[in-house]
Structure 1
Amino acid sequence: MEDTYLPDICPETLKEKEKLSAKQTQFQFRNVKKAGRSWQDGWLLSLRYPGRKEQCAAIGESQTSPHPREEDKAPSTPTLCLPLSSPFCPREKGYSVLLFLKGLGKAERIDSKRHPDPAEMELPQNLYETPADRLDNFVRHSLQPQGDWKEEVQDAWQRIERFLREECFRDELILDQEVRVLKVVKGGSSGKGTTLNYSSDVDMVLFLSCFSSFQNQAQLRKDVITLIQEKLDHCCRSLAYHISLVSPREGARAPRSLSLQVQSKKSSEAIRVDVLPAFDALGPFCPDTKPSPEIYEDLITSAGQPGEFSSSFTELQRHFVKSCPTKLKSLLRLVKHWYLQFLKPKYRKVPLPSKYALELLTIYAWEMGTEKSVNFHMDEGFVAVMKLLRDHEDICIYWTKYYDFQNEVVRNCIKQKLKEYRPVILDPADPTNNLGKGKRWDLVAKEAAYCLRQPCCNTEDPSQGWHIQRARDVQVTVRKSGKEAWTLSVNPYSPIWKMKKEIKNMCALYGHQRLSFQEPDGERQPLSSQKTLADYGIFSKVSIRVLEIFPPEIQVFVKESSGQNKPYAINPDDSIWDLKEKIEVAGGPYMKDQMILKFQGRNLHNRLSLRDLQIKDCDTITLIRRS
């Protein structure tokens, strides 16, 4: 079909009249071109905008001009007119009409190529050339997916899903058991609602009955992928799409998915579909409740690679992004467009962070910078994300929407991940998956720094931008002998001396403060005033002990066989007997229980002083209870 021009209908005209007359309809659409010929007149049957229901025209009476030319005379039949109860803005992008063309003798759908709004004509096609205050328009007119493209993606999805459900595993056995498709879940940008108008990546997660555990999935995945590939080769003609397999990169690990290029026989645009066989770990899915901690415990103890089984949690990943406000999804599209247009083409063979990692970083920036407001300035959000990418070295973020610190196995996993080399971006659906690890963030930072110098980031008042911490505040439980525990919220990148100042005001302390903490199965460690919690890898809940000392007292740690470790203030010239008395007063074993203290493998005699035994500040002494 050649380009078709449907001239604009003036909105003012629509306001004045209840319907379009036959003559007006013929006039507005008299330059329709179809199949290389021009059709002078016809009737408007219906109107369709992308992503909306067809608007059928209403039947009205024929009206003619008082002095019509012969070719402009209205037909004697009733006129089909557009109902004005439905708003009709002919400047809107991509509308189409269904016309009855008299010369052709049948109804035809004609896509418009409307005259753009003057403001749109001025809108640059390059993001870097777009003024910051025009980013909303840029997203709306350049990035939002069009209805026909969305319909094509959906049609391709439905055909492949039907094939996988009904044909692929028919009469097939894997390890002598029948294979059933339990459910099919749409992931990727299409599933999350962040599709761009020029690209679509669809993850088709296939939950199969043959997988009974994560380990079982790892064992059988290759056989399942091979089976799907063979069946697709055999049956692809019946899908009305051209399907080609995307070969995995050379040297890559055993494939976890089957990548397809799906192309309609009517379109030149290809759709990438990744088919991922997965174990149904979640079962019936309820997005508003946390999965059972035992599910994550099984995941962590399965000994898989980090993120290897993330596909089992696709529903959680999808809901996490899909539930975001519409304006935030526009910002997500803008960041993804920047990634695909300016970063990915430059470094095709480099391990860049995934689009999902940038999505999570953008969501975090929005949460921290706007306190989850649904109304914000697009340019401020985009600048905030670029600044995070430029200064990525301190990023350490996680969420507790689907898992938390209550289960010991899960807690230890999270804490270990948060100590990894930064940036750390923990998948909110999979605690084993650190999306920041092993990627070339330096290249991302370089492009982000360049982007910040372009017109798209030139905001009117930079001081009004989003102020974002590189990590969330840490909940610190403060414990001191003789006082009830209380909690503080502490920026992990704030100096510890600031926390000491707050504790001093709370406890009315006059001596020197000594703070310490102990990780599970670890030794008690002192906290230096000049360092931060981040320096100790502390980004989650922590309990610290406060000890008040007066010179020349020192701090020593006493560790019991249970692993409990407490700090004590004592004068170096005091004896071991004096230390035992302090332990007893603090709730330790009675002296008559004949507690034994050891240091560096030696029993400590009661009469000797700490100075005699060369016990120094922050040394650890072991306590043994003699039965």
Structure 2
Amino acid sequence: MASLYDTSGEQVQQPWCLSPGNLETWYNGNIQHGTEKFASDCRSAILSVVGHIHRNCSSNILDFDVDKVVKGGSLGKGTMVKDLSDVDLVAFVNKPYLKPIAEIGKEEYKRALSKIISEIASTLRGVANIQNIRYDEYLVKFKIQVKSRWIDVDLLPTTENVPYQSSYRNMFLSMLDVGHGTRGFYSAAFVQHQKRFVGERPGYLKALIRLVKFWASKYLPAKLKKSYPLELITIYLWEKAGKPSALSKAQGLRSVLEVLTNLDSLRVYWNYMSGVDDQLNETIIRKLDMKRPIILDPANPTNNVGGLYQEYDNKEVIKAAAEKTLRTTLLSDVSAW
């Protein structure tokens, strides 16, 4: 990969040494090219896992039955980048094998879920192209082979946790009265809504998200490469700019990086789920005593996705990386949205 030097004399690789006008060509050749094929290969590999779950996790064989499996993560949302992949699979277990937390309480739910997780892990052992199987109280983790590569998969069993004749609004209000650990058991059921929120965005915005994720892969440590906060920040800025369809990737990237240099300015939420409005979002922020940066998960506003950046020196690390990139040839003379 060709390289030049930035204003501080440090060596810079493509695309950071390119002019903004050449970014689109570079993107098509280096990110777009190959990603679609890799995503197709991943979908094929994951489909085999899903088929295995449906065949082997049924009440004819085990003590529970899986109704559906939802693909989340970058693959499910359509923001996958070649070689930078993550897959979440959410297995919805039919009632009465796993009843909602609000009906049976945390401890009973936890016991039932633990048994289901253990049995799913057992069915995966010995399956071709799956290795490194482990699990905790929330999920099963394993690696699956995609051609010559191995990708990480998180498999999260859950049930539809909205109680009968209730609403998402009432559920979120009830979640304010339980501890963080209990709220964690609700999380898996929201993956399908996270997938829809990001997945319904236009292709040109997803292309910008892929560029942001590529930047993160090059400049950030592993703990800060999580996709979802970066996806939400990018979507928020695009919406704030009026949802431009004539999308300059350089402008979009600069907009995201400028915000990452000042994360304490972020206080963002959406009225996405049924029954969620400004009043509920403000109530959640106040009752859970959330501190900036605040980026409420549109699918589950009791979860501050921006909490990642509050840990340790994460804000300082990501600020330094963003500032360094803003000084490169690609972005130094570009205006944000």
Correspondence 1:181 to 2:66: yes
What's the counterpart of residue 294 of structure 1?
A: 170
Report the Cα offset of residue 180 of structure 1: 1.2
Whole-angstrom CA distance in 1 between matches of 2:110 and 2:17: 47
The answer to which structure has the higher helix fraction is 2
Question: Contact (CA 8 Å) 1:169, 1:179: kept in 2 or not?
Answer: yes
1:127–1:226 distance in 2 versus 1, CA, 3 Å: farther
Per the alignment, residue 384 of structure 1 pairs with 255
What pairs up with 1:194-343 in 2 under 5 angstroms? 194-209=79-94, 210-214=97-101, 215=106, 216-234=108-126, 236=127, 241-245=128-132, 247=134, 254-264=136-146, 267-281=147-161, 292-305=168-181, 307-343=184-220
Compute the displacement of 1:411 (Å). Answer: 5.6
Residues 2-41 of structure 1 deviation map (CA, whole Å, 9 limit, x = unaligned)? xxxxxxxxxxxxxxxxxxxxxxxxxxxxxxxxxxxxxxxx
* Alignment partners' CA distance in 2, 1:171 and 1:407: 47
**Matches of 2:71 and 2:206, distance apart in 1:** 17
TM-score (norm 2): 0.83
Contact 2:35 2:80 in 1 (8 A): no
Identify the residue that residue 42 of structure 2 maps to in structure 1: 153
Instruction: Trace 1:371-520 onto structure 2 (pairs within 5 A).
Output: 371-402=242-273, 403-405=275-277, 412-417=283-288, 419-437=289-307, 438-439=310-311, 440-460=314-334, 462=335, 465-466=336-337
Distance 1:194 1:225 in 2: 28
Opposite residue 375 of structure 1, the aligned amino acid is: A
Shift in CA distance, 307/379, structure 1 to aligned 2, threshold 3 Å:
farther
AA in 1 matched with 2:265: D
Q: Distance in 1 between matches of 2:116 and 2:297?
A: 26
Q: Would the aligned equivalents of 2:76 and 2:87 in 1 still touch at CA under 8 Å?
A: yes
2:139 counterpart letter in structure 1: S
Rounded Cα–Cα distance in structure 2 between residues aligned with 1:311 and 1:134 = 41
* Counterpart Cα distance in 1 of 2:175 and 2:113: 16
Greater fraction of residues in strand: 1
- Out of 58, 63, 76, which is 1:191 matched to? 76
Does the CA-based 8 Å contact 1:133-1:459 persist in structure 2? no
How far the C-alpha of 1:308 sits from its partner, in A, is 4.5
Amino acid at match of 1:181: V
Report Cα offsets for 1:91-147 as digits up to 9, x if no partner. xxxxxxxxxxxxxxxxxxxxxxxxxxxxx999x973323332222223222112444
Alpha carbons 2:2, 2:14 under 8 Å: kept: no
Structure 1 or 2, whichever has the larger Rg, is 1
Equivalent position of 2:227 in the other structure: 355
Aligned position for 1:24: none
Task: Answer 1 or 2: higher relative contact order, Cα 8 Å, separation at least 6.
Answer: 2
Pairwise CA distance, 1:302: 4.5
| Deviation, structure 1 residue 392 | 1.1
Query: How far off its partner does 1:426 sit?
Result: 0.8
- Do the aligned partners of 1:307 and 1:430 also contact (CA within 8 Å) in 2? no
Query: 1:364, CA displacement in angstroms?
Result: 0.8
Identity among equivalent positions (%) equals 27
Q: Name the SS of the counterpart of 1:277 in structure 2.
A: strand
Q: Rate the CA distance shift 1:343–1:392 in 2: closer, same or farther, 3 A.
A: same
What's the CA shift for 1:300? 3.5
Question: Are positions 1:138 and 2:26 aligned together?
Answer: yes
Q: CA deviation at 1:422?
A: 1.2
Q: Count how many residue pairs are aligned between Structure 1 and Structure 2.
A: 314
| Structure 1 residue 195 displacement after superposition | 0.7
Q: CA deviation at 1:325?
A: 1.3
Once the two structures are superposed, what CA deviation does each residue of 1:538-597 show, in whole Å capped at 9, x if it has no partner?
A: xxxxxxxxxxxxxxxxxxxxxxxxxxxxxxxxxxxxxxxxxxxxxxxxxxxxxxxxxxxx
Over aligned residue pairs, what C-alpha RMSD do you find? 2.9
Q: Tell me, in whole angstroms, the C-alpha distance in 2 between the residues paired with 1:353 and 1:405.
A: 30
Separation in structure 2 between the aligned mates of residue 399 and residue 407 of structure 1, nearest angstrom: 11
Equivalent residues in 2 for 1:533-544 (5 A)?
A: none
- Name the SS for the 1:339 alignment partner: helix
Give yes or no for contact 2:72–2:88 (8 Å, CA) kept in 1.
Answer: yes
Equivalent residue letter for 2:31: L
Distance 1:224 1:406 in 2: 37
Task: Please report how far the alpha carbon of residue 222 of structure 1 lies from its aligned counterpart in structure 2 after TM superposition.
Answer: 2.5
Could you list the runs of 5+ residues in structure 1 that have no partner in the other structure?
1-119, 249-253, 284-290, 467-627
Distance in 1 (alpha carbons) for counterparts of 2:157 and 2:254: 38
CA drift of 1:435 comes to 1.2
CA deviation profile, 1:396-446 (whole Å, cap 9, x unmatched): 1111111524887x76324334x5221111111112111112431221111
Conserved 8 A contact 2:267-2:293 = yes
Q: Distance in 2 between matches of 1:307 and 1:135?
A: 40
